[in-house]
Amino acid sequence: MRLATWNVNSIRTRVDRVVAFLERSGTDVLAMQETKCRDEQFPALAFEAAGYEVVHHGLNQWNGVAVASRVGISDVEVGFPGMPTWGDPAAAEARALGVTCDGVRVWSLYVPNGRAVGDPHYVYKLEWMAALRDAAGAWLTDDPDAQIALVGDWNIAPRDEDVWDISLFTGATHVSEPERAAFRALEDVGFTEVTRQHVEQYTYWDYQQLRFPRNEGMRIDFVQASPELAAHVVGAQIDRDERKGKAPSDHVPVIVDLG
DNA sequence: ATGACCATGTCGCATGGA
């Protein structure tokens, strides 16, 4: 099975590109983030015409997560147990969607940005990551053999080499030690990031300042796999071509092949 | 060329992204 994750930065702007990617790449299951629309606005017909079922969770023009699959979708779950809320009045945001596709539990995740170290959004980000660790750890405790993929835009660069110039990120969000510790904490409960051993490239380049032509990017999109799933990973890649041409997302697809 | 922000709602400009 070929599994991919992609922050599409608006599915309505990008739907033709996304469906073309699915058909060209032979992706069976695609987790999407930042769809930026409500459920009734999601262009489901384009996916269905290409042979994919699609499940979407979006509440407004912010966030939004989805999964498209041509190998079935079942057991849809909106948000994970204990997921923190945001705002006044406090409400869950559209940042997590769990589905089962051909025996693999896939979570499409859009981790809060954080904005700046110390900002309330940053505190929320760390709480969100801690709650995810607790929930995911409990899933593995309940079923150590479960095939679980936590995929998406983590908004964390776990290593210095995951940004083009670490000296420009002093004191910035995405590279702070608490964020990196929160990412590593998933390893403490049994998960393994499975793309790094196969991929060295960035997954995101800002639209501004020629970041892409200069390859000044960040690596913030990852796949955390349970032990049973990690054992089935036979390869991983990014599709750098998806950052080129007309109207690209600022992120590229991250692809994992399961044998 | 891989090229000098882009998306939303709303219609002049605020908000969010990283």
Q: Which of A28, A52, A56, A110 is catalytic?
A: A110
Which pLDDT does position A197 carry in this prediction? Answer: 96
Distance CA A193, CA A187 (A): 8
Which pLDDT does position A106 carry in this prediction? Answer: 98
CB-CB neighbours of A10 under 10 Å: 15
What is the percent of chain A with per-residue pLDDT over 90, rounded to a whole number? 98
Which pLDDT does position A88 carry in this prediction? Answer: 81
**Nucleotide B8, nearest residue via CA and C1':** A61
Which pLDDT does position A89 carry in this prediction? Answer: 84
- Using a 7 A cutoff on CB, list residues near strand B: A 7, 9-10, 12-13, 34, 36-37, 41, 61-62, 112-113, 115, 121, 153, 155, 173-174, 204, 206-210, 212-213, 215, 218, 220, 244-245, 247-248, 250-251
Please confirm, yes or no, whether A251 is among the known catalytic residues. yes
- Closest among A211, A203, A126 to A165, alpha carbons compared: A211
Let me know how long chain A is: 259
A179 is in an annotated binding site: no
**The pTM of the whole model exceeds 0.75:** yes
- Nucleotide with C1' nearest the A116 CA: B18
**Every domain of chain A and the residues it spans:** 2-258
* Mean pLDDT (whole number) for A66-77: 98
- Could you report the per-residue pLDDT of A4-38, keeping only the tens digit for each? 999 999 999 999 999 999 999 999 999 999 999 99
Which pLDDT does position A241 carry in this prediction? Answer: 95
CATH code at A2-258: 3.60.10.10
- A224: which residues sit within 8 A by CB, 6+ positions away? A136, A149, A150, A151, A186, A191, A192, A193, A194
- Could you report the per-residue pLDDT of A200-216, keeping only the tens digit for each? 999 999 999 999 999 99
- Nucleotide with C1' nearest the A9 CA: B7
Which pLDDT does position A36 carry in this prediction? Answer: 95
Which pLDDT does position A68 carry in this prediction? Answer: 98
- Closest among A64, A174, A157, A167 to A114, alpha carbons compared: A174
* Residue A142 reports pLDDT greater than 90: yes
- Could you report the per-residue pLDDT of A86-126, keeping only the tens digit for each? 988 889 999 999 999 999 999 999 999 999 999 999 999 99
